[in-house]
Amino acid sequence: MSSLDTLKARLLEVDDLSNAAALLRWDQTTYMPPEGAPARGRQLATLSRLAHELFTNAETGRLLDAAAKETASLPFDADDASLVRVTRRNWEQSVKMPTALVAEFQEHSALSYQAWTEARPKNDFAAVRPLLEKTLELSRRTADCFPGYQHIADPLIDFSDYGMKASSVKQLFSELRAKLVPIVRAITSRPVADESCIRQHAPEADQLGFGVEVIRRFGYDFARGRQDKTHHPFMTKFSLGDIRITTRVREDEITDALFSTLHECGHALYELGIDRAYEGTPLANGTSSGVHESQSRLWENLVGRSRGFWEFFYPRLQQVFAKQLQGVPLDAFYKAVNRVERSLIRTDADEVTYNLHVMLRFDLELDLLEGKVAVKDLARVWRERFEADFGIPVPDDKNGVLQDVHWYGGPIGGAFQGYTLGNILSAQFFATAVKAHPGIPGEVKKGEFGTLHGWLRDNIYKHGAKFTAPELIQRVTGGPLTIGPYLDYLWGKYQPLYGLREEERLGAGVA
Amino acid sequence: MSSLDTLKARLLEVDDLSNAAALLRWDQTTYMPPEGAPARGRQLATLSRLAHELFTNAETGRLLDAAAKETASLPFDADDASLVRVTRRNWEQSVKMPTALVAEFQEHSALSYQAWTEARPKNDFAAVRPLLEKTLELSRRTADCFPGYQHIADPLIDFSDYGMKASSVKQLFSELRAKLVPIVRAITSRPVADESCIRQHAPEADQLGFGVEVIRRFGYDFARGRQDKTHHPFMTKFSLGDIRITTRVREDEITDALFSTLHECGHALYELGIDRAYEGTPLANGTSSGVHESQSRLWENLVGRSRGFWEFFYPRLQQVFAKQLQGVPLDAFYKAVNRVERSLIRTDADEVTYNLHVMLRFDLELDLLEGKVAVKDLARVWRERFEADFGIPVPDDKNGVLQDVHWYGGPIGGAFQGYTLGNILSAQFFATAVKAHPGIPGEVKKGEFGTLHGWLRDNIYKHGAKFTAPELIQRVTGGPLTIGPYLDYLWGKYQPLYGLREEERLGAGVA
């Protein structure tokens, strides 16, 4: 048996433990009764500890060295060479963290998540504050395992978007903000689109049924997945044969569950498309948070909020919600699902203002980690900054600092930048796909997604984590990440929708 | 830190791994998409292997020795003394089995279960036959880890009903059969009770809702549990804060889901009642399969099929199924849910014939293990023996050898005797409870179960696995397991229902 094979067997065992932990988390967020939480935290700590011990021990390092020699003559993009390269990168990251810290963080996150599920509906930030303080401390201790960073957030950003730093994200966000703000201003100077047609009662089962119908057409494979309800939708994977999504439903809006379903389906299509030969290895994952979000946002927005998509699906939706949508023309509906307005909730935000929500959170993460903002002041600071950025008051914490699960179920730092990276990349990838296959928009109008899905699978999905995000973007688009296609996409869509004038695109400057 | 404390910390870790494995199994049987099965099997193998390694290694043995010294002066029933005693017994059992065999069996069972879920509706015994052959081989190899047994089934029976042997079960079953057969003959010489009132369409949601209403009154705690649907109902536990049940629903019978819900609730009440100080130790379990089934059968039958129970609940059921039960008198309904007839399916069988189903399976387990019956002939032998015992033909394998999950999701051997031990004990325990609290039947008529539940908790549930089944039975009832109370209960209930004559109880002899 080669060292590579021995390494693979060991990785498979690590994978089994990690996937068992993922199932424990999925269960906690979907079905677990409340009193299961303390033991669940302990179980997650034990599984994470064992997985971390097994992955980081010296024998794994020796196997990696030996496997590197065995694969030295292979080309860069050969599966086995990539496996060794990517595993070594993960290993070098993991060995720097003490197992006890990893386990402690897992257990704490499980308890903190549980507290958040109760605190959010009660609008009770005080109940989670001590837990959030602990989360911040654990996040800092995690970052401090990587001495020599420029910014304390850098190691945490590295976990989700390898190669990015606080400084590079800040610069990118600053450029993007400068271009976005004029568009937001221009749009919000127009009358708000009428959304009354979608703001109607819509039974849960009908909403879920329609969403399932759409994602089946996208190519979501229910033999390898399922959808359940949860507090905060997510995608998770227990093997390449079991990739699940979750959603949530408010019955006061026809499309409430839909876009969350499409979003998570985009994540799932990415993972479902990974080469199944990578099963049980670090290659069997999306390569970064940004690339992952590019797929959720591509299917949710560039496809799911496009006029072509609704040319096909709107008549079907009118059948499902006959009473509600009778006599509502396609264009009115299309405008409603693409209304742009400054609003309170990130996950409900339109494509244009969405990134401002992300930037707010990203800046707060940096300030928290740097100690510029204390957790005890976070709810207040959130409200102040939100009002400054969006010009609308935050009525309560459940529509403010309690709205997102991220800080309550994982580290502070690295949690949010991926959403905006994903928005940018979704347009960059989509433009590349359409350039390669100009027929894609026409197919979307017919409810056909095979060419688009196939291109994404062949160019992005199947590679899993073989290439880093920068490597992948270069391979797929021929250049680095760039905001041009995203801004062109937004302008191309919203200029006609809101009758914007070309000079408004440039605006008066940076907000 | 004492050795006992170190031992407890280690047991907690074993418990975390075992509970994670239990959740993986629960998920497989409730929600997992079909293509998740291969990885799930592997994950279960890994978790079982790690749990077994950790539990059986020499350090656990040393800790047990040291902890035994530390607890030597404690009385037999002290928690810590019991913990050491019970853990040592489990440890001595576990160390005899190679870890690789344990892991192989877990993985095989996961795959075999998955195949069974597909084979049963298709009536396709051939599809599971090779898997069942492997199960038999693994069961034999497991038994052979315990050389010196009288019968090859003995070690397997020991896992579930410690202290019982094939010979003692056979003798008990033979005595019971001699007393049961005359009663079955007497009843089946009468006209079959009219069950048309319950054989009516009943929507799933209504059935489930009513069942939940009942088990809330029994004392099932939804903050520490939940109910989901599955192929074959079961109870499972992930901690003392998370004890779940599953059920299944056929909409062609009003009470189809109900009795399965009550049955699993009985199992759950047992585990929910365990002293929470035992969390994470081998004491936090039911003590044997037989005692566990005594609780499922007690709540399902001695309570849930009693006339007093329905005096309270029937008016409520009539509200839920107003159209179906309008004008059906309580007595007609009571007779229908207690109809006795020779039928095909064990889980649907009445209280009187039920044990004959168990005995058939128990005998087949012995014959399979002994090599007297080959798996290739099993479907045929099942049909022949069933027809001989029950006098009705088996139309197909899904109503025959494919009906029960047990052999397809676990070992052959030790799987079934617990049901009949449970029937016997349910009556023995119930009679003891009523002797201590003669008001219990009167409370049941008022939908009150607190006295019964409290007595069971204080005398049985809270002890968990502290006492072996024989020890517990002696403590609770003042004597050993005995079939008298069970036969008295059956006669007392069915004699008036079917107008039996006293001399019929003795019958003409053994069938």
Single out the residue of B3, B12, B7 nearest to residue B66, CA to CA.
Answer: B3
Single out the residue of B150, B134, B348, B123 nearest to residue B232, CA to CA.
Answer: B348
Contact A98, A56 (CB under 8 A): no
- Which chain A residue lies closest to B239 (C-alpha atoms)? A39
Question: Region A488-494: what's the mean pLDDT?
Answer: 97
Q: Which tokens go with A395?
A: 């009525």
Q: Which tokens go with A46?
A: 């034990």
Q: Which tokens go with A224?
A: 């390898």
Question: Region A299-316: what's the mean pLDDT?
Answer: 98
pLDDT of res. B507: 72
A204: contact with B, CB 8 A cutoff: no
Over residues B449-504, the pLDDT tens digits come to: 999 999 999 999 999 999 999 999 999 999 999 999 999 999 999 999 999 999 99
Single out the residue of B37, B291, B254 nearest to residue B164, CA to CA.
Answer: B291
Among candidate residues B107, B264, B293, B300, the one labeled active-site is B264
Count of beta carbons in the 10 Å neighbourhood of residue B174: 11
Does residue B371 surpass a pLDDT of 90?
A: yes
Q: What share of chain A is helix, strand, coil (3-state, %, to 5)?
A: 65, 5, 30
Q: Which of B10, B25, B26, B35 to mutate to test the interface with A (most CBs of A within 10 A)?
A: B35
Does residue A511 surpass a pLDDT of 60?
A: no
Question: Region B336-342: what's the mean pLDDT?
Answer: 94
List, edge to edge, every strand of the sheet that includes B227-229: B227-229, B242-247, B235-239
The overall average pLDDT reported for chain B is: 96
Over residues A208-256, the pLDDT tens digits come to: 999 999 999 999 999 999 999 998 899 999 999 999 999 999 999 999 9
Q: Which tokens go with B437?
A: 């609290």
pLDDT of res. B509: 44
Does residue A508 surpass a pLDDT of 80?
A: no
pLDDT of res. B510: 41
pLDDT of res. A231: 85
pLDDT of res. B231: 85
- d(CA A294, CA A473) in angstroms, rounded, equals 11
Share of chain B above pLDDT 70, in %: 99
Name the E strands within A173-319.
227-229, 235-239, 242-247
Contacts of B425 (CB under 8 A, 6+ apart): B290, B291, B293, B294, B473, B481
Question: Is residue A436 very low, low, confident or very high in pLDDT (cuts 50, 70, 90)?
Answer: very high
Question: Region B112-141: what's the mean pLDDT?
Answer: 97
Q: Show residues of chain B in contact with A40, CB under 8 Å.
A: 238-239, 242
Q: Which of A10, A42, A226 to mutate to test the interface with B (most CBs of B within 10 A)?
A: A42
- d(CA A164, CA B424) in angstroms, rounded, equals 68
Are B39 and A225 a contacting pair at CB < 8 A?
no
Give the burial class of A479: count Cβ atoms within 10 A of its Cβ; 0-12 exposed, 13-18 middle, 19 or more buried: exposed
pLDDT of res. A509: 44
Q: Which of B19, B27, B50 sits opposite A50 (nearest CB)?
A: B50
Q: Which of A20, A24, A241 sits opposite B38 (nearest CB)?
A: A241
Are B19 and A238 a contacting pair at CB < 8 A?
no
pLDDT of res. B508: 53
Question: Is residue B130 very low, low, confident or very high in pLDDT (cuts 50, 70, 90)?
Answer: very high
Does residue B103 surpass a pLDDT of 60?
A: yes
Helix ranges restricted to H, B302-459: 307-320, 322-325, 330-337, 354-370, 375-390, 406-409, 417-436, 440-444, 450-459
Does residue B511 surpass a pLDDT of 80?
A: no
pLDDT of res. A431: 98
Q: How far is A13 from chain B (nearest CA, A)?
A: 7
Give the burial class of B273: count Cβ atoms within 10 A of its Cβ; 0-12 exposed, 13-18 middle, 19 or more buried: buried
A36: contact with B, CB 8 A cutoff: yes
A24: contact with B, CB 8 A cutoff: yes
Question: Region B285-308: what's the mean pLDDT?
Answer: 98
Are A16 and B43 a contacting pair at CB < 8 A?
yes
Among candidate residues A264, A300, A351, A365, the one labeled active-site is A264
Residue that is written with structure tokens 């976005």 in the block: A180
Over residues A49-74, the pLDDT tens digits come to: 999 999 999 999 999 999 999 999 99
Does residue A325 surpass a pLDDT of 70?
A: yes
Tell me whether residue A264 is one of the annotated catalytic residues: yes
ipTM over 0.90: yes
pLDDT of res. A408: 96
Write the Ramachandran bin of A341: left for phi over 0, alpha for psi from -120 to 50, otherwise beta. beta
Helix B330-337 vs helix B307-320: crossing angle, to nearest 10: 110
Are A279 and B37 a contacting pair at CB < 8 A?
no
Whole-structure pTM value: 0.94
Over residues A155-208, the pLDDT tens digits come to: 999 999 999 999 999 999 999 999 999 999 999 999 989 999 999 999 999 999
Question: Region A325-350: what's the mean pLDDT?
Answer: 95
Q: Which tokens go with A108?
A: 């704490």
The tally of CA atoms less than 13 A away on the side-chain side of residue B305 is: 27
Q: Which tokens go with B186?
A: 């007497």
